[in-house]
A and B are shown apart, each in its own frame.
Chain A
Amino acid sequence: MKMIIAIIQPHRLEAVKQSLTEVEVFRLTVSDVQGYGRQKGHTEYFRGQPMQVNLIRKVRLDIAVNDNFVQPTINGIIKGARSGEGGKGQVGDGKIFVLPLENVIRISDGTLGGEAI
């Protein structure tokens, strides 16, 4: 089992959800996060005065998957999250982290392991 954490552009969330549905990944936790990477923030204006905003809004996905779903999930996220013309991808599109996952427990009935995912 793996834990897949992805940081994506907020406006790509719908596309990612769609491409994950295509590969039959139906479990997903979404949260609103802020951060920065290679983009190093952007400039906003307050009454004409530039403000360097370096924390940018992103969306974080937490997906727990069984091993046979790891690659399809990664492919699905990449497909949906690449922005720009024709989905070529550009700086700021985010990252995917794959972590080992020790166990999964379903709270309502106590089911353990891969079946609980």
Chain B
Amino acid sequence: MHSSLRSLRARLTWPLLTLFAFSLLALLAAPAHAATPPVSSAPIPEPNPGDTAWMLISSALVMLMVPGLALFYGGMVRQKNVLGTMMHSMVALAVLGVEWVVLGYAMSFGTDHAGLIGWDPGKLLLWNVMPQQLHEGGRITEYVFMVFQGMFAIITPALIAGAFAERVKFSAYLLFVLIWGIVVYNPVAHWIWGGGWLAPATAGDTAFHLGAMDFAGGIVVHVTAGVSALVAALYLGKRIGYPTHVLKPNSLVLTLLGAGLLWFGWFGFNGGSAIASNSNAGLAFSTTQIAAASGALAWMVAEWLKHGRPTSLGLASGLVAGLATITPCAGYVSPAAAMFIGAFAGVLCFQAVLFKSRLGYDDSLDAFGVHGIGGFVGAVLLGVFARKAYNTEGVDGVLAGNTPQLYIQLIAALSVALYAAVATLIITFVVDKLVGFRAQKSVEIEGLDPAVHGEQGWMLGDLPEPSIGLPGDESIEWEPMPETPHRQTAKARV
């Protein structure tokens, strides 16, 4: 009796503690002045159904990029780390998925404070945001905007994981992405998309605004993630055995499929960043398709010429480079510019990845070489190729006679890169001191899957379950064996 009570209590301890933690979070997030939302008798304005539909689909498309990234990264690591690496992507959906609703949305898109950070207690846990409430512009509801932006907050830290794949503690990773999301992603998203100091000034706003453009996150997503990846890779050091040993990818099949899913999801990433189902979304969708294609082609051909082989990993990397680079430009440039930007990205990122081996740091899956370089170059090329003729709400670049925009883009990308680098260095240091960032050497050598997760990704070649069907196993009712010579027995079973 007592023991069963005790075991019941033991079984309930963790679920209850978790529940308690979440309730506490909810209470903390509840602002002191929280009141029942006002009920008004006036007719509630409805959002635009077309825009709402496209934004909901776009949000789901961006979400699909996370498993895409899991496959893309997961295929490139050694067999013993495939699950651990895929978990890095997937668990971001969980960690940042909670963080964004509790805190991130209020920090990124709350009321602006000095251009540096947003803060709106009413947006914490969406406490005072009701489902009918419209986002500014009135075309979609605030929930739709929040959930779309949330997907970006999730995938950005997950991108960094490629830099230190195969060698970090899981607990340290969780802590890292959580702090990184709060300290790096939320402020930078606010600076550029939430009306902060890098954003263009809105009418009647007298505060300082640089006026940088970033359509879908070349700076907010790819520069922050890429630069942080480089810093983390430098801080954490090389994998055991790099570069003297062969660290073979377990399945480039996964990587190719993952790259394909990333391409598919990117239509929501860029197309959805028009925040409407309009001509601008159509432009962003088209330039995304064009740049991905030319990026893939450029990398593949560059590698073919250099090493004599067109590799599948080259094609996959090239398309991702093209996509990362067109991201800031997608809704502002012409199709021809998109084609150039994609191809330029393909060749440049290929060179950057080659150059890495000469510098000697170990960015395992080239998060910096592809996303950092791609995002930065894209943000700068926006200042060259942008044309107001393609987006009246956009800007003109150098080719349209507006040279200052190039400098604005450069300053914005550089300041964000600098901020991300310094902040990541501090976060990495703190996490390292708190829980130890690198996995133990024995864990790294055995592999993250068995040592950390107690699981195994691939079981090909495993023996059948040894404990089933042993002699004397009474759980199986055997059919009587036919009394025939063994050759016929074999035939009879067929």
CB atoms of B357 and A49 under 8 A apart: yes
CB atoms of B486 and A53 under 8 A apart: no
Of B246, B247, B249, B314, the contact of A48 (CB 8 Å cutoff): B314
Of A44, A48, A109, the contact of B303 (CB 8 Å cutoff): A48
CB atoms of B486 and A108 under 8 A apart: yes
Could you count the A-B residue pairs with CB atoms below 8 Å apart for me: how many are there? 36
B247 / chain A contacts, CB cutoff of 8 Å:
46, 51
Measured CA separation A44–B246 after assembly (Å): 10
B9 within 8 A of A: no
- With both beta carbons as reference points, the residue of chain B lying nearest to A106 in the complex is identified as B486
B135 within 8 A of A: no
Of A44, A47, A51, A53, the contact of B353 (CB 8 Å cutoff): A47
A48 / chain B contacts, CB cutoff of 8 Å:
303, 306-307, 314, 350, 353-354
Measured CA separation A109–B307 after assembly (Å): 58
B366 within 8 A of A: yes
A44 / chain B contacts, CB cutoff of 8 Å:
248
- With both beta carbons as reference points, the residue of chain B lying nearest to A50 in the complex is identified as B307
A45 within 8 A of B: yes
B317 within 8 A of A: yes
CB atoms of A51 and B248 under 8 A apart: yes
Measured CA separation A48–B352 after assembly (Å): 11
Contact residues on A (Cβ < 8 Å of other chain), bracket = 10 to 19
CB atoms of A47 and B248 under 8 A apart: no
B367 to chain A, nearest CB (A): 12
Measured CA separation A53–B317 after assembly (Å): 22
CB atoms of A52 and B246 under 8 A apart: yes
B48 within 8 A of A: no
CB atoms of A47 and B246 under 8 A apart: no
Of A45, A52, A108, the contact of B311 (CB 8 Å cutoff): A45
B313 within 8 A of A: yes
CB atoms of A46 and B249 under 8 A apart: yes
CB atoms of A51 and B311 under 8 A apart: no
Q: List 26 A-B contacts (CB under 8 A).
A: A44-B248, A45-B303, A45-B307, A45-B309, A45-B311, A45-B313, A46-B247, A46-B248, A46-B249, A47-B313, A47-B314, A47-B353, A47-B366, A48-B303, A48-B350, A48-B354, A49-B353, A49-B357, A50-B307, A51-B246, A51-B248, A52-B246, A53-B246, A108-B486, A109-B485, A109-B486
Please give the residue numbers on chain B whose beta carbons come within 8 Å of chain A beta carbons, in ascending order: 243, 246-249, 303, 306-307, 309, 311, 313-314, 317, 350, 353-354, 357, 366, 485-486
Please give the residue numbers on chain A whose beta carbons come within 8 Å of chain B beta carbons, in ascending order: 44-53, 108-109
